[in-house]
């Protein structure tokens, strides 16, 4: 858990339609006998002060995981920024002491066990407003720390300016980028295709199952 006042809840972004897998919820696919979402929850629960799931459609399909399920609050804005805003709004309404939330893709089964601690340290060390993860020379903008106080600015960007790319929005603020090694595996590997699931089975063995 964090030492930041109010703690840092985590929002798991599960809004994708998995078109490259033939539809359905990517986080519900299984790797070595466990759903990807199970693996994400197991990685982040010890690091976060509570988890919530951002998903649209019938929330009952996620009932077995025991997490609050919140839909996008801004209509017709598919994409991760809408999910992040939904998380910021939910936290502001229910946990007013919280200053930052973590966002993570719900289809990344091997997330680092030091994700939150290193993002906090990177943001503080660089005096930044936001922090995002990186590996292998690539940033992962859906995995990062978000300031609750910026939620109305994010809403304006979505609704009034039609900004959907995370990078376009985060470029407005001091941003810390925290890099992880990619050996023995890239902790931000995400399962987008059927072939990725097969690769994830191999990586799970490297990661201890």
pLDDT of 1 strictly over 60: no
pLDDT single digits (tens) 12-36: 999 754 443 344 678 888 898 899 9
Domains of the chain: 10-206 (3.90.550.10)
* Beta carbons within 8 Å of 157's beta carbon, 6+ residues apart: 81, 163, 169
Tokens 């990186």, residue located: 134
In this prediction, residues 80-102 reach a mean pLDDT of 96
What is the average per-residue pLDDT within 168-193? 94
Identify the residue with better confidence: 193 or 135.
135
Q: What is the mean pLDDT of residues 176-197?
A: 90
pLDDT beyond 90 at 117: yes
Own/partner long-range contacts of 23-27 (Cβ < 8 Å, ≥24 apart): 25/55, 25/61, 26/106, 26/107, 26/191, 26/192, 27/106, 27/107
pTM, rounded to two decimals: 0.91
Which pLDDT belongs to residue 198?
79
Does the pLDDT value for residue 42 go beyond 80?
yes
Q: What is the mean pLDDT of the chain?
A: 90
pLDDT digits (tens, 9 = 90+) for 135-150: 999 999 999 999 999 9
Phi-psi label, residue 32: left if phi above 0, alpha if psi -120 to 50, beta otherwise: left
């Amino acid at each position: 858990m964090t030492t930041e006042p109010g703690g840092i809840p985590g929002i798991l972004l599960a809004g994708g339609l998995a078109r490259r897998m033939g539809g359905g919820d990517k986080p519900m696919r299984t790797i070595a006998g466990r759903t990807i979402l199970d693996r994400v929850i197991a990685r982040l629960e010890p690091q976060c002060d509570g988890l919530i799931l951002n998903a649209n459609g019938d929330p009952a399909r996620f009932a077995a995981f025991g997490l609050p399920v919140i839909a996008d609050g801004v209509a017709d804005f598919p994409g991760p920024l809408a999910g992040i805003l939904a998380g910021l709004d939910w936290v502001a309404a229910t946990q007013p002491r919280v200053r930052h939330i973590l966002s993570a893709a719900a289809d990344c089964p091997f997330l680092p066990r030091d994700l939150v601690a290193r993002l906090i340290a990177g943001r503080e060390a660089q005096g930044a407003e936001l922090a995002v993860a990186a590996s292998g020379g690539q940033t992962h903008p859906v995995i990062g720390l978000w300031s609750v106080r910026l939620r109305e600015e994010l809403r304006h960007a979505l609704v009034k300016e039609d900004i959907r790319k995370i990078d376009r929005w985060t470029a407005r603020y001091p941003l810390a980028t925290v890099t992880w090694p990619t050996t023995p595996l890239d902790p931000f590997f995400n399962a987008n295709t059927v072939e990725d699931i097969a690769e994830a089975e191999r990586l799970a063995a490297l990661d201890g199952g």
